[in-house]
């Protein structure tokens, strides 16, 4: 499976930055947030990121405009999940809210979709269980900012398949990220 469509759930600073980087690399991205104000703020951030890329990296305006055209917005979980092959959750660190989100998402997401969480403080195995997709669930930890090389650590949960790891690592490498994979051992 090739990842051609990504959904980022959460339009805060991190979700917006990640969505723009993916869109800048020619991938269609849907940005979801239940808060219309955050979606509007994300639109503003995307314009700021565009200006930064033009100035810092001497990127032609046409390329950043193409990135902006690759971004869609939604306040509806089923619509946002749509036909995404990769769904990245970047919502607030609240276990109850995330579990509810994943329970809703598992009914709305395409069967072949891979789920990734950006949570760094919550147990990813609890989130994987709530998603109903433990074999297609990974934890993503990003390092770097707009001025640095983007580094991604993929935390492979015990149930995730090697095929999923290969698909995700190849995708992020293709969009210019350095990828490191860590395997989480089975917890008793």
Sign for the pseudo-dihedral over CA of 152, 153, 158, 161: positive
Q: Is the pLDDT of residue 147 over 70?
A: no
> Does residue 169 or residue 150 have the better pLDDT?
169
- Select from 1.10.260.40, 3.30.2130.10, 3.40.50.720, 3.40.366.10 the CATH code of 5-183: 3.40.50.720
Q: Is the confidence at residue 145, as pLDDT, over 70?
A: no
For residue range 75-118, list pLDDT tens digits in order. Answer: 999 999 999 999 999 999 999 999 999 999 989 999 999 999 99
What count of other Cβ atoms lies within 10 Å of the Cβ of residue 71?
21
pLDDT tens for each residue of 1-57: 899 999 999 998 888 989 999 999 999 999 999 999 999 999 999 999 999 989 988
Span 61-69, mean pLDDT? Answer: 95
Write the DSSP string, the chain.
----EEEEE--SHHHHHHHHHHHHTT-EEEEE-S-HHHHHHHHHHHHHHHHHHHHHH---HHHHHHHHHTEEEES-HHHHHTT-SEEEE---S-HHHHHHHHHHHHHHS-TT-EEEE--SSS-HHHHHHHHT-GGGEEEEEEE--TTS--EEEEEE-TT--HHHHHHHHHHHHHTT-EEEEEEPPPP-
Percent share of the chain, pLDDT over 90 = 84
- Is the pLDDT at 157 greater than 70? The verdict is yes
Q: Give the pLDDT mean for 50-77.
A: 94
């Amino acid at each position: 499976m090739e990842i051609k469509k990504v959904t980022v759930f959460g339009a805060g600073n991190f979700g917006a930055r990640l969505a723009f980087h993916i869109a800048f690399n020619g991938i269609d991205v849907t940005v979801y947030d239940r808060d219309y104000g955050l979606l509007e703020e994300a639109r503003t951030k995307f314009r700021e990121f565009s200006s930064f890329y033009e100035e810092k990296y001497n990127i032609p305006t046409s390329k950043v405009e193409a990135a902006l055209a690759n971004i869609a917005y939604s306040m509806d979980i089923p619509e946002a999940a749509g036909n995404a092959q990769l769904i990245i959750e970047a919502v607030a660190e609240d276990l109850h809210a995330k579990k509810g989100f994943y329970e809703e998402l598992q009914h709305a997401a395409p069967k072949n979709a891979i789920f990734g969480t950006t949570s760094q403080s919550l147990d990813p195995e609890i989130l994987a269980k709530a998603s109903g997709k433990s074999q297609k669930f990974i934890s993503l930890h990003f390092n770097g900012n707009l001025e640095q090389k983007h580094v991604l650590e993929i935390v492979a949960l015990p149930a995730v398949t090697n095929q999923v790891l290969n698909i995700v690592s190849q995708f992020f490498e293709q969009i210019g990220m350095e990828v490191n994979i860590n395997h989480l051992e089975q917890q008793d």
